[in-house]
């Protein structure tokens, strides 16, 4: 298994992006899932509707054990007036920090799963065809407030982004409550 024991070996390969070594999905179905999630979110991010994008890792009972949270703010007044060089520099710093965040994580079992989830500030209008591609999540919430570890924040107008890791509180019950 590769990164976090959640994907088969060979699903990712090391590549350079913005002069930083990153892991790129090469398995066709995995690459398609990541591409469809990110390209499907783009119109909503551009409109400022997305509050955060979260990569959630689950155990075999589908209980979240770790969340990488990307909190986004897009300044709508910029339109297309973006300083690409400044944005690229800020994104490179973000990618570098992401590649060294592995020691902050906990080992995960190989029988778990993961997903990309978006949290919206407000729901998109019903008439938008892109809105129909997204389905509500059934993610189980933790009973206690999570342990939050900041990883990186970036402010390069028009984009502000924070990345942090959420993990269950040490006092979180290990077994989810059973329903009567």
pLDDT tens per residue across span 156-166 = 777 788 999 99
Which pLDDT tens digit goes with each residue over 19-58?
A: 777 778 888 888 888 888 888 888 887 778 888 989 898 8
**Both tokens of residue 84?**
């690409």
pLDDT of residue 164: 92
Architecture of domain 12-167: 2-Layer Sandwich (3.30)
Compute the mean pLDDT over every residue in the chain, rounded to the nearest whole number.
77
Most confident listed range (60-64, 103-107, 108-112): 60-64
Higher pLDDT, 82 or 99: 99
State residue 2's pLDDT score: 39
3-state secondary structure string, 36-103?
Answer: HHHHHHHHHHHCCCEEEEEEEEECCCCCEEEEEEEEEEECHHHCCCCCHHHHHHHHHHHHHHHHCCHH
Q: Torsions phi, psi of 54, nearest 5? A: -125, 130
State the residue for tokens 């990569």.
Answer: 55
Q: What would the two tokens of residue 21 be?
A: 């070594």
d(CA 33, CA 168): 26
Which pTM was predicted?
0.76
Question: Any idea where the domains of the chain sit in the sequence?
Answer: 12-167
């Amino acid at each position: 298994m590769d990164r976090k024991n959640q994907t088969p070996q060979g699903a990712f390969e090391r590549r350079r992006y913005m002069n930083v070594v990153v892991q790129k999905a090469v398995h066709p179905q995995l690459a398609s899932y990541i591409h469809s999630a990110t390209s499907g979110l783009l119109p909503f991010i551009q409109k400022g509707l997305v509050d955060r994008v979260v990569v959630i890792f689950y155990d075999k009972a589908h209980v979240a054990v770790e969340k990488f949270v990307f909190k986004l703010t897009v300044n709508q007044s910029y339109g297309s007036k973006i300083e690409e060089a400044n944005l690229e520099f800020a994104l490179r710093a973000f990618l570098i920090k992401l590649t060294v965040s592995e020691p902050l994580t906990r080992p995960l079992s190989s029988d778990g799963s993961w997903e990309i989830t978006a949290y919206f500030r407000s729901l998109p209008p019903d008439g938008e065809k892109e809105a129909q591609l997204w389905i509500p999540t059934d993610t189980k919430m933790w009973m206690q407030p999570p342990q939050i570890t900041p990883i990186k924040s970036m402010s390069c107008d028009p984009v502000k982004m924070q990345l942090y890791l959420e993990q269950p509180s040490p006092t979180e019950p290990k077994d989810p409550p059973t329903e009567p």
